Amino acid sequence: MSGAETRSIEFEQAAVESVLGGYETLPGVRDEMMDADGLPRAHWVPFLSELAQLGPEELRRRFSSADRYLRESGVFYRVYDDVGGGERPWSLSHVPLLLEKSDFAELAAGLVERAELLEALLADLYGPGTLVTNGALPAAAVAGSPEFLRPLVGVTPRGGRFLRFYAADVGRGPDGRWWVLADRTQAPSGVGYALENRLAVTRALPDVSQTLRMERLASFFQTFRASLLKLDSTGEGRVGLLTPGSLNETYFEHALLARYLGFLLVEGEDLTVRGDAVHVRTVAGLKRLDVLLRRLDADFGDPLELNAHSRLGVPGLVEAVRQGSVALANALGAGLVESPALMAFLPRLAESLLGHPLALPHVGTWWCGQEAERADVLAHLDDLVLTSAFGTLIPGLPRRFSAVGADLSPAQRKRVMALIARRGEDLVAQDIACVSTMPVWNGDRLVPRPFTLRVFLAATEDGWEVMPGGFCRISESLDARAFSMQRGDRSADVWVLSDGAVSSATLMPSPESVRIRRSSGTLPSRAADNLFWLGRYLERSEATLRVVRALVGRLSEVEPSSSAPLVARVLGMLSTWGAIPRDLARANPTRYAIAALTRMDLPGALPQLVRSARASASVIRDRFSPDGWRALLDLEGCLTAPVPNAASEADVYERADAALRIIAAFSGLASENMNRLAGWRFLEIGRRIERSIAILRFARAFAEPDAPRGALNVLLQLTDSQITYRTRYMIMEARGPVLDLVLLDPDNPRSLMFQVQRIVDHLRVLPGRDPDAPPSLAERLVARIQSDLIARTAETFELVHFDVLEADLLKLSDEIGQHYFIQGPEENVSWPAAT
C-alpha cells in the first residue's frame, strides 16, 4: 500500500469516527466491519465515510423512508404463531453487509461445488443407489427422511435435473472462513425478500449505492428465468409458480416473484392433470403447463400418491412427473438432501462423487445411527449441539429441537440419553458454530449483531449461477452461536462490492429474444373469480357508503317532519342489505349510519364488505400494483378504525367521504394502470353488475309513483347524477326525466344502461370466446337486458320491471361464474377402516 493511500484511508477513518463511536465488537467473535485491532476493514471505509457525510439526522430520515417503502409496498411475512395468523411487516436492518468481490467469489465457488455434489447425490439416491450398496452411505440415513419420496424412486426428472434453485445458509467463523450451516433444496425462500431489501436500501441511500458500485441482482433472475423457460415445450413461454396459497408465511414473496419473473402464480386447485400432463384452468379453458417453480412442499404435491390429506396439491402430479410431461424446480423429493443426517456423510461422498474434498467446510456433523459416532457423541455431549437428524419431531423433545448438551434440562438430558441408547438414528450432533457479527443501526448508532447469510444459486445450461448478494438474517441477541439463531429478527441486504464495471442488466430480455405479443396471456379461473368478486365487493361498499352519507348529510338538513319518510326508506334499504341491525328501535339516523359503518358482525356493514374485498384481492396479489394494494389496505384501515362514542354526524360524514375517495382512487388506478386484459375485464364486470343492482334498488325505493317528497332528489344523490340533472333540466325533479337519466341514458356513466353496455362490451372480447360459435348464455342474458332497456321509456317503467331486471342480473352473475370460474371442486375419496 502506498503512502498516499494510507494517508487517505487515515483521513477517511477520522471522518467515520462519528458513525463508529462506541462500536464494540463481541469478545472472541469476528466482526465483518471491524478488524481485531478495532479498525474498520478497508472495504467498509468508503461506505462509512458516506454515512458520516450524511450525518445522524439525515440517516434517520433516510432509514425511515426505507421502512416506509417496505410498508407501503406491502412487504410482509405471515407469522403462524400469532393468534389469528397475523401478518408481520418485514423488518429491515438498513446497513447492508458489505463483501469484497474476491471473498464472495471464493464462497460462491464453494457453493457451486456443493450444489453439484447435492445434485449428484439426489441423482444416485433416486436412481441406481450405488452409494448405498457400496457402503458409502447407510440405507437408514436415507430412509429416515420424510423427504425420501418413495413414489419418485426410479423417476428421472424432465430436463435431467433435481435441483434448479438451491440456497445455503452460511456463517463466517472466528478464523474468517465461511462455513455452511444448512442446505435448502426443497423450496428455498428469501430471494424475493432479498430483492425487496435491495430496492428499499438503494432507494434510501441512492448516492451511497452509486458510489460504492455493488454487483446488481437482475441478471441472476434473468438467467434463472431463461433456464426455466427453456424447459417449456408449449412455445408460449408459460411457467407456473406453484404456491400453497395466501396463508403461507412467504406468500408475499411468491406473488412478488411471479410478478417479477413474469410467471403465472398458481395454486393446486388452479391445476389439473389431463392425459398425464399438467394444465392450468383459465378463463379460456385448460392450458398446458410444462414448467413449475415449486414453492409448495413436495409432500403436499399430490394427494393421490403423496400426502392423501393435502388439499393444496394436484391429483396426478406424480404421474405427470413420471411421464416426464412437467418439470418442477425443484424436483419432487429434492428436499431429501436437506437432512442433517446426510450432511454427516457429505465429506466422504464428495470424495467418491466429485473426486476431491469439498473446498467449503460445513459445520461438523455426526449421525448417531452409527455405533462409533454414538460413542464419540456420548463422550463429548456437553460440547455438541443436538438436533433432529431428519428435521422431524422427536417425541419428548420440543419442535425444532436444537440445544447444546451442557444446556439440556435434566428431563431433556434423560430423553436424549435414552434416544442415543435406543433410537440414535433420530439424532445428529453438531459442532457449536460461532458466526460473525455485522453492524446494525439501532436508531442513533451502529451496534454489532450476529447474522447468518443465505446465498442463492440457480442452475443454467452452463452450470450454476450464484446471485451476487444474498439475504442476511440478523439476531437481536448477542449469542453468536449459529444454532441459537434459527429465526432471525431482522434482515439485511448484501452488497458484493465490485472492483470493475458493473453490468446494468435488468429483467428486460435481450432484443432478439423478444417476440411481439399483445395477447392477453393466461388468466387462471381462480384469479378471474377473485377479481370479479373484488369488483362486486368494492362496488357494494361504494353503494352502502353513498347511502350512509345521504343519511347523515342531505337528509339531516331537511326538517325532520318532511325527512322522516325518506329516512325510513333509506333505513329499510340498509336493513334489507344487512348493513344495520333490525333492533335499533327509534334510534336516530346517525346511530344507524354508525352501525352501517362500523358493525363488525353485520354481513352488509362496511367492515365485512371491505374485508371481503381485501380477502379476494389478497389471494391474487401478483395482479396488483403496490399502489392498488395500498389503496385496499387504506380502505380497510379507514373503515375498521374505532369510532369515538360520541361520534357526530360530521364525523360519520367525514369517514364515509374519506372511504369513497379511496375507492375512487382505486378505480382510477385500475382504469389507468391495469392493462385492458381479461383480468381487468372481470374486475369491471363485477363492478358493473353490482352497480346495476344498486341502481335498480335505489330507483325502486325512491322513484315509486307514490314516493314521499324529495325522494327523487335522494335518488339523484345516490346515483351521483345530481349535477347532470341540474345542467340538463333546470327544473325540480320530475319522475320521468329522473328515471330516464338514472336508468336509460346511455351517456350517463352512472346509468343502468351505461353499466349494461359496458358488460356487453367486456363479454364480447373475453378470451376463449369462439367467434364462430353462437353467443354464450351470459351474452344472451345481458343482450336481453339491454334490448329491454332500449325498448322501454321512463314512463313505462313499473315496479315489476325492477324485480325482473334484478333477477336477470343475478342470473348473469351466476352464469359468468359457471362459465368462467367453476371447473368443479375436487373431493378426496375416503375409505373405511379395515377391520
Partner 1 sequence: MLYDIRQTTSYTYAAPVRANRQVLRLSPVDRKGHQHVIAHMLDISPRPSEIERGRDFFGNGVAWMVIDAAHDRLEISTRSRVEVIVGPLPEPMLTPTIAEVRAVALASTELGPASPVHGMFASRSVPLDLAVTEWAEASCAEDRPILAAALEVMHRIHDEFTYKPGATTVTTLPAEAFAARSGVCQDFAHVMIAGLRGVGVPVRYVSGYLRTVPPEGTPRLEGADATHAWVEVWCGDSAGWIGLDPTNAIPAGEDHVILAIGRDYADVSPVDGVVVSSGTQILAVGVDVIPVERSQAEAPAS
Could you please report the per-residue DSSP string of 666-713? HHHHHHHHS-SSHHHHHHHHHHHHHHHHHHHHHHHHH--TTPPTTHHH
Considering the rule CB under 8 A, would residue 147 count as an interface residue with partner 1? no
Question: What are the C-alpha distances in Å from 809 to residues 513, 689, 695, 784, 806?
Answer: 46, 7, 12, 11, 5
Considering the rule CB under 8 A, would residue 1 count as an interface residue with partner 1? no
Considering the rule CB under 8 A, would residue 304 count as an interface residue with partner 1? yes
Name the minimum Å distance from CB 600 to partner 1.
32
User: CB-wise, 320 or 453, nearer to partner 1?
Assistant: 320
Considering the rule CB under 8 A, would residue 153 count as an interface residue with partner 1? yes
User: CB-wise, 273 or 596, nearer to partner 1?
Assistant: 273
Give every CB contact of residue 508 below 8 A, 6+ residues apart in sequence.
none
Q: Which stretch binds partner 1 (CB under 8 A): 230-238, 267-275, 461-469, 652-660?
A: 267-275
Q: Which grid cell sits at 554?
A: 342531505
Considering the rule CB under 8 A, would residue 417 count as an interface residue with partner 1? no
User: CB-wise, 316 or 679, nearer to partner 1?
Assistant: 316
Q: Which residue of 174, 206, 285, 396 would you call a contact of partner 1, by CB under 8 A?
A: 396
Candidates 250, 239, 194; CA nearest to 217 is: 194
Q: Which grid cell sits at 107?
A: 464462497
Name the minimum Å distance from CB 315 to partner 1.
4
User: CB-wise, 171 or 301, nearer to partner 1?
Assistant: 301
Considering the rule CB under 8 A, would residue 134 count as an interface residue with partner 1? yes
- Kindly report the number of other CB atoms within 10 A of residue 339's CB atom: 25
Name the minimum Å distance from CB 381 to partner 1.
20
Q: Which grid cell sits at 326?
A: 412437467
Considering the rule CB under 8 A, would residue 133 count as an interface residue with partner 1? yes
Name the minimum Å distance from CB 224 to partner 1.
32
Rounded Cα gap, residues 320 and 155, in angstroms: 11
User: CB-wise, 134 or 561, nearer to partner 1?
Assistant: 134
Q: Which residue has the cell 447469510?
A: 453
Considering the rule CB under 8 A, would residue 737 count as an interface residue with partner 1? no
Name the minimum Å distance from CB 309 to partner 1.
8
User: CB-wise, 77 or 401, nearer to partner 1?
Assistant: 401
Rounded Cα gap, residues 815 and 809, in angstroms: 10
Return the DSSP state at 750: T
Q: Which residue of 19, 95, 125, 619 would you call a contact of partner 1, by CB under 8 A?
A: 125
User: CB-wise, 274 or 764, nearer to partner 1?
Assistant: 274
Name the minimum Å distance from CB 153 to partner 1.
6
Rounded Cα gap, residues 190 and 716, in angstroms: 53
- Kindly report the number of other CB atoms within 10 A of residue 435's CB atom: 27
Rounded Cα gap, residues 781 and 792, in angstroms: 17
Rounded Cα gap, residues 386 and 430, in angstroms: 6
Beta strands 239-242 and 291-294: pairing type?
parallel
Considering the rule CB under 8 A, would residue 135 count as an interface residue with partner 1? yes
Considering the rule CB under 8 A, would residue 355 count as an interface residue with partner 1? no
Q: Which residue of 143, 411, 417, 790 would you call a contact of partner 1, by CB under 8 A?
A: 143
Q: Which grid cell sits at 437?
A: 457479527
Considering the rule CB under 8 A, would residue 337 count as an interface residue with partner 1? no
Considering the rule CB under 8 A, would residue 325 count as an interface residue with partner 1? no
Q: Which residue of 15, 71, 109, 129 would you call a contact of partner 1, by CB under 8 A?
A: 129
* Ranges within 421-440 binding partner 1 (CB under 8 A): 422-423, 425-426
Backbone dihedral region for residue 180 (phi beyond 0: left; psi -120 to 50: alpha; all else: beta): beta
Burial level of 558, CB count in 10 A (0-12/13-18/19+)? middle
- Kindly report the number of other CB atoms within 10 A of residue 632's CB atom: 22
Q: Which grid cell sits at 228?
A: 426455466
Which amino acid is present at 610? Answer: V
Q: Which stretch binds partner 1 (CB under 8 A): 141-149, 211-219, 505-513, 659-667?
A: 141-149
Q: Which residue of 28, 395, 410, 511 would you call a contact of partner 1, by CB under 8 A?
A: 395
Considering the rule CB under 8 A, would residue 369 count as an interface residue with partner 1? yes
Name the minimum Å distance from CB 39 to partner 1.
53
Considering the rule CB under 8 A, would residue 832 count as an interface residue with partner 1? yes
The β-bridge partners of 286 are 281
Considering the rule CB under 8 A, would residue 88 count as an interface residue with partner 1? no
Name the minimum Å distance from CB 374 to partner 1.
10
Q: Which grid cell sits at 786?
A: 339491454
- Give SS3 for 577: coil
Candidates 682, 692, 670, 666; CA nearest to 749 is: 692
Buried/exposed code over 76-89 (b: 16+ C-beta within 10 A; e: otherwise): bbbeeeeeeeeeee
Q: Which residue of 70, 214, 312, 394 would you call a contact of partner 1, by CB under 8 A?
A: 394
**# binding residues, partner 1 (CB under 8 A):** 54
Q: Which residue of 371, 462, 559, 706 would you call a contact of partner 1, by CB under 8 A?
A: 371
Angle, CA 726 vertex, CA 722 and CA 730 arms, to 5° = 155
Binding site for partner 1 (CB under 8 A): 125, 129, 132-135, 138-140, 142-144, 150-151, 153, 273-276, 303-305, 307-309, 315-316, 319, 369-371, 390, 392-396, 422-423, 425-426, 823-835
